[in-house]
């Protein structure tokens, strides 16, 4: 899914940069993209996916740490902890959406 989204974003960017339709078409595309990004259904889906990702990462960390014990590098453990704390710390993430 991530690769498909990246491909679509790249395709859209290529169209915007390569189009000869001019500024008017660019503004039209920008307005459409903003409307999609501000759609409550899209925002809720993004929030849900982020929350599920944090939950899965936490479960995976516990499973791996149980099996590996002290052999897990500190850098990996620190990174997972910081991601978990970032997801639970504030009411808003980097995109300005709430985690509730």
**pLDDT per position as a tens digit, 64-95:** 777 776 777 778 778 777 776 776 544 455 55
Closest CA to 99 of 45, 41, 29, 51: 51
24 shares its domain with 70: no
**Is pLDDT above 90 for 31?**
yes
List the domain range (segments joined by +) for residue 12: 1-38
Instruction: Report yes or no on 44 lying in a domain.
Output: no
- Assign residue 22 a region (left: φ > 0; alpha: ψ between -120 and 50; beta: otherwise): left
pLDDT of residue 25: 79
Residue of higher predicted confidence among 16 and 57:
57
Q: What is the pTM of this model?
A: 0.44
Residue of higher predicted confidence among 96 and 57:
57
Domains held by the chain: number:
2
100 shares its domain with 61: yes
Instruction: Report yes or no on 45 lying in a domain.
Output: no
């Amino acid at each position: 899914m991530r690769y498909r989204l990246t491909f679509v974003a790249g395709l859209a960017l290529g169209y915007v940069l390569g189009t000869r339709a001019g500024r008017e078409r660019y503004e039209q595309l920008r307005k459409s993209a903003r409307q999609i990004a501000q759609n409550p259904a899209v925002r809720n889906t993004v929030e849900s996916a982020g929350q599920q990702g944090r939950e899965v990462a936490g479960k995976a960390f516990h499973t791996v740490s149980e099996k590996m014990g002290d052999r897990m590098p500190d850098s990996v453990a620190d990174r997972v902890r910081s991601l978990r704390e970032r997801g639970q710390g504030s009411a808003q993430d980097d995109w300005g959406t709430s985690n509730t």
